[in-house]
Chains A and B, each alone.
Chain A
């Protein structure tokens, strides 16, 4: 199981790096899906199958679909890829990369010096999530409903076509 965990973690890291470096947006998104799927696998191995399923259903299956939709709608072509490539010049990413490297080094030091967390995490089943969500955290659920409502209404108004008689593509 540990082996699967480390394999999935490696896949997650590599595919995330690929997401950043691809200049073609759809290729980047494909790597992103792979990255999210390997995260789901990591949750599986950590004993949280429900979270793993959500990772696939929500992130890989819904949010990335929205990204793909937007990319297909804007339908960026070769020049977008070329621009993306220009933006990926070393002078653009070298500063953030150095800063991130410092953070990462600090993180490694912390991990190496701190005592490891004791015991494997117990499995978290759906039922336990349900009991917690609709018991102690019920207010959070209702707030989430409000947030989703706001998202729905906001997106509707942002996406609404201004009635100006513009020619729209039939679809």
Chain B
């Protein structure tokens, strides 16, 4: 009985951590972005402006939650829920330390890929249900971008799987005992990182919501907490991608001196900051450039990476 209770407690903890983290990330992003752009950012509410997190939450919960009369009401409500649910479920397979983590699936990596393929529906359905030209275009763009980069993401991870010989994320971290996979799988890391940016449609790949051409893309018609849920979903997505990068390429919880959870947290924070830094540093490509880059550069490269890794491993073994 205590076992079950403990498990439920871990699940609640691990699940709600990214939600709290998402709220904090909004603050972090605004402050860090402001720092990079030589301005202050939110610094009035509470110490360091941290109160803005609470203020934002109160604001977004009490805003009018408008469902347009021309929208498909049920699907319109379902869409933002999908992104939050799939995002949170991916967190389940991430091993935080040797002992902390919701579950250790033997197909952990596939579970992550499956959840990210389900996440596509949130943008497609939002675009369709809004019944708005910009939303539909944004939804189509977002889904074309996400499904394409999902392929490259899956293929780029095969190198890691080849080296670890397992889909269990815990095994993959354990296989990095001697050397982090960033060294032998640098190409895989680069592809995964780019694909991760595109999957979460973060800047510079935020074409589905490119405000200059598509208003706000698939969430043009969303307001209030439903809009907030897309926001939360995006930050949960960023957290998950950063956590996957840490787990797959940077040895997860491993590191000298400090306990595992601190290492994991530090590495996670580092990659989240990189995500924000990219937002400040890079311009947005055109949609055709993005798609061509994926199919013409990332796909051949990830296939090459796969075959070369396998060949090298077999040669090395022989």
Residues of B contacting A125 in the complex (Cβ-Cβ under 8 angstroms): 106
* Pair B72/A50 contact, Cβ less than 8 Å: no
* Pair A61/B75 contact, Cβ less than 8 Å: no
Residues of A contacting B125 in the complex (Cβ-Cβ under 8 angstroms): 26, 30
Instruction: Select which of B72, B110, B128, B136 is within 8 A of A53 by beta carbon.
Output: B110
Instruction: Select which of A49, A68, A73 is within 8 A of B105 by beta carbon.
Output: A49
26 A-B pairs (CB sep. < 8 Å) = A26-B72, A27-B75, A49-B105, A49-B106, A50-B107, A50-B110, A53-B111, A56-B114, A60-B117, A60-B118, A61-B118, A61-B120, A62-B117, A65-B121, A65-B143, A68-B121, A68-B124, A68-B128, A69-B140, A69-B143, A72-B124, A72-B128, A72-B140, A75-B136, A125-B106, A126-B110
Give complex CA distance A126, B143 in Å: 29
Q: Taking A30-B75, A49-B105, A72-B128 as contacts, is the C-beta distance between A61 and B140 under 8 angstroms? A: no
> Which residues of B does A touch, CB under 8 Å?
72, 74-75, 78, 105-107, 110-111, 113-114, 117-118, 120-121, 124-125, 127-129, 136-137, 139-141, 143, 147, 150, 167
> Closest CB-CB distance, A77 to chain B, in whole Å?
10
Is A33 engaged at the interface, CB distance under 8 Å to the other chain?
A: yes
* Pair B167/A56 contact, Cβ less than 8 Å: no
Residues 21-34 of chain A, each 1 if its beta carbon lies under 8 Å from chain B, else 0: 00010110010010
Give complex CA distance A68, B127 in Å: 11
* Pair B139/A72 contact, Cβ less than 8 Å: yes
Interface contacts (Cβ under 8 Å), in number, total 66
Residues of B contacting A102 in the complex (Cβ-Cβ under 8 angstroms): none
Residues of B contacting A164 in the complex (Cβ-Cβ under 8 angstroms): none
Known: A49-B107, A56-B118. 9 other contacts (CB 8 A): A24-B72, A30-B125, A49-B105, A53-B110, A53-B113, A62-B117, A68-B121, A69-B140, A171-B140
Residues of B contacting A26 in the complex (Cβ-Cβ under 8 angstroms): 72, 75, 125, 128-129
> Closest CB-CB distance, B226 to chain A, in whole Å?
17
Give complex CA distance A69, B141 in Å: 11
Instruction: Select which of B114, B136, B167 is within 8 A of A57 by beta carbon.
Output: B114
Residues of A contacting B113 in the complex (Cβ-Cβ under 8 angstroms): 53, 57
Give complex CA distance A55, B252 in Å: 29
Residues of A contacting B106 in the complex (Cβ-Cβ under 8 angstroms): 49, 125-126
> Closest CB-CB distance, B232 to chain A, in whole Å?
22
